[in-house]
Amino acid sequence: MRPERSRRQQLLAQVAAELPASPDLVLVTDLDGTLLAGEDPWRRRFYGWLRLHRQRVLHLFCTGRDLASVARLLEEEQELGLGSPHLVISDVGCTVACGETLLPLPLVVDPIEARWQGLPERLMPLLARIPGVSPQPESAQRRLAYRIDPEALDHAQLLAIEAHGVDCLVSGNRYLDVLPAGVNKGSTLLALLSWLDLDHGTVVTAGDSLNDLAMFETGLKGVMVGNAEPALIEALPSLPTIYLSCAHGCEGIVEGLSHFGFGYLLEGAF
């Protein structure tokens, strides 16, 4: 047996019980500003639809939050009916976990971890000296998370940090994520789709901020929700597979799914 095949089977064994065998749709949603945005009645209806179609729609969270924050969120949003996804990509692409257990999947995470070794120790003292950059109190895995003061930050200093083998990702004009070079929501999503042997034609992504740009640059179909940050909307002309919804949050996702021909799955629910 080829080693690649054996590794894929190992990965499937870690999550197989959780996954639909042959999904009609693989829906990859950012959380804040996307799956968590929109009017409450729309959110309630959309979360109910996801639960009802759990065997036809393979749902992935793809978020900048860490796993602890995702766990808290699932508790908080129970009231509106948000259930666990099948899989979670967290930490802006630096962690992948089973959606039910929130246990990381070592086959995907270990290579990212290997690329991260030694970087935090080297970079934290350098970042601490940059004006306008302050650590976020939330924990982060295989990345460093900061808040920025856009007035005080000189972006040239981030280029100097990137020379150490990392990518500096600013989103929402407030957040800075320092990631292993080449690791982002898009790269990790593509790796995961490949591990799971999922048809790219069935995939739709959805997001609202610059940390979703890499996901929108994969060539997969994507929905930019109507409340997306202006800097992301500016990138739209260079993103031929992305649809910009008029509606916000969950309603925007539904609009995008109809646009991409998945309306048959939505019939009667919206």
Residues that bind Mg ion (CB under 5 A): 30, 32-33, 208-209
CB 147 within 8 A of CB 189: no
Residue 140 beta carbon to Mg ion: minimum distance, rounded to whole angstroms = 16
Among 68, 59, 32, 43, smallest CA distance to 211 is for: 32
Distance in angstroms (rounded) separating the CA atoms of residues 70 and 31: 9
Residue 32 beta carbon to Mg ion: minimum distance, rounded to whole angstroms = 4
Q: Which is nearer to Mg ion, 84 or 209 (CB)?
A: 209
Q: Which is nearer to Mg ion, 27 or 107 (CB)?
A: 27
- Cβ-closest residue to Mg ion? 33
Q: Which is nearer to Mg ion, 23 or 33 (CB)?
A: 33
Residue 200 beta carbon to Mg ion: minimum distance, rounded to whole angstroms = 23
Residue 166 beta carbon to Mg ion: minimum distance, rounded to whole angstroms = 21
Assign 121 to helix, strand or coil: helix
Q: Which is nearer to Mg ion, 30 or 167 (CB)?
A: 30
Pairing of strands 87-90, 57-62: parallel
Q: Where are the alpha helices (DSSP H) in the chain?
A: 3-15, 40-52, 67-76, 106-116, 119-128, 155-162, 185-196, 213-216, 230-234, 249-259, 263-266
Residue 33 beta carbon to Mg ion: minimum distance, rounded to whole angstroms = 4
Residue 88 beta carbon to Mg ion: minimum distance, rounded to whole angstroms = 14
Q: What's the burial of 4, exposed, middle or buried (CB within 10 Å: 0-12/13-18/19+)?
A: exposed
Assign 250 to helix, strand or coil: helix
Distance in angstroms (rounded) separating the CA atoms of residues 140 and 161: 18
Q: Which is nearer to Mg ion, 94 or 119 (CB)?
A: 94
Q: Which is nearer to Mg ion, 15 or 257 (CB)?
A: 257
Residue 34 beta carbon to Mg ion: minimum distance, rounded to whole angstroms = 5
Q: Which is nearer to Mg ion, 14 or 205 (CB)?
A: 205
Assign 20 to helix, strand or coil: coil
CB 95 within 8 A of CB 141: yes
CB 228 within 8 A of CB 15: no
CB 94 within 8 A of CB 141: yes
Q: Which is nearer to Mg ion, 65 or 115 (CB)?
A: 65
Residue 131 beta carbon to Mg ion: minimum distance, rounded to whole angstroms = 26
